[in-house]
């Protein structure tokens, strides 16, 4: 195996970016499975097809998710890859680790796995790539001892994730880290025991900049916003103007709803509050002069996902404004009602957005008990979900 060449993979080390091939080569010095992985991958590029197959269910005691079974379809050629399972670790909010915690994970993984890790996977988990079935329970036990838990996989709640929020960002309209942590702890059963038609992802972004990409990548996006009006500091507006900023061109003209008016003589900015769609553009451009409003909370969007049964969807607003305080009871209650409806109506491998798409938003809203409001826009600014029950039309 050692003297085999990997010309296709070597190509991927060219260029200025870090290369996963280089990292696998480093792991291959210490680990036989990582060495075989290089050659399996090379074979995949030559054959133009992957050499992994789905096998039986693997996991740890009491959990239905958190481990993804991986098996090579050429185990005779690559015996160390006959089983090469992936372990997902539920990451801390916004990925804040202490170095000693990271060392603990690395030590466990070097001892019991391939040493290859991915920080972080698409859902937000820390991903440990490649171990055998017999090592799964010891890995889980040692991770638990170190204070970590497995993340979600399969048809369950996937590990919730969030943007860095108030830890480092002045735009945060709520505490994304706390919300993510609280919701994760509340829904442990949903996270560890697959019981739904398919997966369900929750992502928390502190404002409409949506650094967690929640609108596109989560079934439920919790995106920070405000109910009142943006706050403008006119002194700072003047400073921006005096320093040469073209406020009309760079800010007002790019406001998507033309909600801003700039008085060139007085160097003052005004907002038509009811026209502001809370897009964050002006705040991003003039962060010292414009701030989110004071009555802060979040919008809840539902249905974002990549192509599966239907094409890719962005999330739709289902609650324009919700306060995110205390123990998040309002959000938790809403999630429970949504899941109950989806559990009864969803088909296997159908994401919540697809179930709503198939059955209809009006039925979903009335059965889950969510009032229809004009902010529920299907395609932004073209097709609002406005409906009335028949008795109200008579
Ligand atoms: Fe800051 Fe908003 Fe990005 Fe969160 S989504 S990190 S609050 S800019
Ligand atoms: Fe316009 Fe967006 Fe600023 Fe609102 S937040 S005033 S919509 S640029």
Both 245 and 302 in one domain: the answer is no
Same domain, 354 and 327: yes
Which ligand 1 atom sits closest to the C-alpha of 173? 7
Q: Which atom of ligand 2 is nearest to the CA of 271?
A: 6
Instruction: Please tell me whether residues 284 and 347 are part of one structural domain.
Output: no
- Which CATH number is 37's domain given? 3.30.70.2500
- Rounded CA separation 319/105 (Å): 39
Q: CB under 6 Å to ligand 2: residues?
A: 230, 255-257, 259-260, 271, 276-282
CATH code of the domain covering residue 248: 3.30.70.20
Instruction: Answer yes or no: is pLDDT of 1 > 90.
Output: no
Q: Are residues 74 and 222 in the same domain?
A: no
How buried is 125 (Cβ within 10 angstroms: 0-12 exposed, 13-18 middle, 19+ buried)?
Answer: buried
| Closest to 24 in 3D by CA, of 117, 124, 160 | 117
What are the pLDDT digits (tens) for 48-105?
999 998 766 788 998 988 999 999 999 999 999 999 999 999 999 999 999 999 999 9
Instruction: Give me the chain's average pLDDT, please.
Output: 92
Q: Which residues line ligand 1 (CB under 6 A)?
A: 163-165, 169, 171-172, 205-207, 209-211
Report the domain count for the chain: 3
Question: Does 213 share its domain with 250?
Answer: no
Q: Ligand 1 test: best mutation among 124, 164, 170, 180, most atoms within 8 Å of CB?
A: 164
Name the residue with the closest Cα to ligand 1, atom 3: 211
Task: Compute how many other C-beta atoms are within 10 angstroms of the C-beta atom of residue 380.
Answer: 12
Same domain? 342 vs 385: yes
What's the 168 CA to ligand 1 centre distance in angstroms? 9
- Write out pLDDT tens, residues 293-327: 999 999 999 988 777 677 778 888 999 999 998 99
**What is the value of pTM for the model shown?**
0.91
- List the domain range (segments joined by +) for residue 343: 161-227+295-393
> What span, in angstroms and rounded, lies between the C-alpha atoms of 122 and 216?
12
- Is residue 12's pLDDT more than 90? yes
Q: Identify which ligand lies nearest to the alpha carbon of 292.
A: 2
Last residue of a domain, one of 273, 291, 309: 291
Both 348 and 360 in a single domain? yes
Residues 171 and 274 in one domain: no
Pair (124, 12) in one structural domain: yes
pLDDT at 306: 77
> The sheet that has 202-205: what strands, in order across it?
161-162, 202-205, 220-226, 296-302, 316-322
| E strands in 141-273 | 161-162, 202-205, 220-226, 231-232, 260-263, 268-271
């Amino acid at each position: 195996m050692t003297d085999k060449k990997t010309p296709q993979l070597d190509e991927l080390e060219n260029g200025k970016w870090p290369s996963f091939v280089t990292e696998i080569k480093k792991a291959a010095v210490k680990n036989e499975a990582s060495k075989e992985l290089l050659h399996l991958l090379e074979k995949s590029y030559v054959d133009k097809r992957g050499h992994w197959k789905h096998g039986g269910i693997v996991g740890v005691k009491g959990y239905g998710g958190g481990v993804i079974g991986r098996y090579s379809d050429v185990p005779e050629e690559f015996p160390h890859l006959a089983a090469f399972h992936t372990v997902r670790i539920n990451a801390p909010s916004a990925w804040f680790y202490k170095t000693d915690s990271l060392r603990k994970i690395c030590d466990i993984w070097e001892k019991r796995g391939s040493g290859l890790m991915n920080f972080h996977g698409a859902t937000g988990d820390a991903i440990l790539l490649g171990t055998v079935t017999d090592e799964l329970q010891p890995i889980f036990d040692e991770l638990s001892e170190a204070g970590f838990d497995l993340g979600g996989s399969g048809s369950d709640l996937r590990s919730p994730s969030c943007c860095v929020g108030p830890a480092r960002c002045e735009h945060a309209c709520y505490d994304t880290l706390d919300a993510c942590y609280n919701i994760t702890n509340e829904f442990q059963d949903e996270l560890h025991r697959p019981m739904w038609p398919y997966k369900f992802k929750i992502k928390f972004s502190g404002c409409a900049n949506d650094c967690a990409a929640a609108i596109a990548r989560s079934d439920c996006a919790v995106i920070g916003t405000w109910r009142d009006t943006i706050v403008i500091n006119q002194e700072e507006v003047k400073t921006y103007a005096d320093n040469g900023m073209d406020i009309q061109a760079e800010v007002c003209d790019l406001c998507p709803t033309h909600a801003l008016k700039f008085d060139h003589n007085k160097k003052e900015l005004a907002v038509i509050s009811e026209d502001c769609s809370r897009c964050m553009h002006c705040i991003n451009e003039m962060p010292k002069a414009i701030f989110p409003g004071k009555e802060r909370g979040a919008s809840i969007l539902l249905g974002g996902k990549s192509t599966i049964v239907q094409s890719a969807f962005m999330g739709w607003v289902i609650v324009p404004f919700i306060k995110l305080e205390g123990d998040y009871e309002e959000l938790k209650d809403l999630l429970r009602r949504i899941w109950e409806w989806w559990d009864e109506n969803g088909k296997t491998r159908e994401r919540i957005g697809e179930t709503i798409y198939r059955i209809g938003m009006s039925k979903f809203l009335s059965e889950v008990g969510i009032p229809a409001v004009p902010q529920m826009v299907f395609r932004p600014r073209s097709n609002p979900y406005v409906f009335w029950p028949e008795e109200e039309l008579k």
